[in-house]
Amino acid sequence: MAELLITPSQTIGPFFKHGLEWPGGKKLFADAAPGRHVRVAGVVTDYQGQPVPDALIEFWQADAAGQFGAPRQGASAGYGRVPTDGAGRYDIHTVYPGRVPGSDGRLQAPHILVVLFARGLQRQVATRLYFEDDAANGEDPVLALCGARAGTLIAKRDAADAYAWNVSLQGAKETVFFEA
Cα 85 to Cα 91, 144, 156, 179, distances in angstroms? 10, 32, 21, 27
Q: Pick the stretch among 35-43, 88-96, 110-118, 156-164 that binds other proteins (CB under 8 A).
A: 110-118
Residues 6+ apart with CB under 8 A from 140: 108, 109, 111, 130
> Is the alpha carbon torsion for 73, 76, 77, 82 positive or negative?
negative
Residues 56-75 that bind other proteins (CB under 8 A): 58, 60-62, 68-69, 71, 73-75
Q: Counting contacts by CB under 8 A, is residue 18 touching other proteins?
A: yes
Please name the helix (run of DSSP H) or strand (run of DSSP E) that holds residue 171, with its range, or none: none
Triad 42, 115, 54: Cα angle to 5°: 60
Q: What is the CA radius of gyration of the chain?
A: 16
Nearer to other proteins, 138 or 160 (CB): 138
Q: Counting contacts by CB under 8 A, is residue 24 touching other proteins?
A: no
Question: What is the smallest separation between the CB atom of 160 and other proteins, expressed in angstroms?
Answer: 26
| Binder of other proteins out of 9, 36, 85, 139 (CB under 8 A) | 9
Q: Counting contacts by CB under 8 A, is residue 100 touching other proteins?
A: yes
Say if CB 95 and CB 31 are below 8 A apart. no
Question: What is the smallest separation between the CB atom of 65 and other proteins, expressed in angstroms?
Answer: 13
Q: Pick the stretch among 34-42, 87-95, 97-105, 131-139 that binds other proteins (CB under 8 A).
A: 97-105
Q: Counting contacts by CB under 8 A, is residue 160 touching other proteins?
A: no
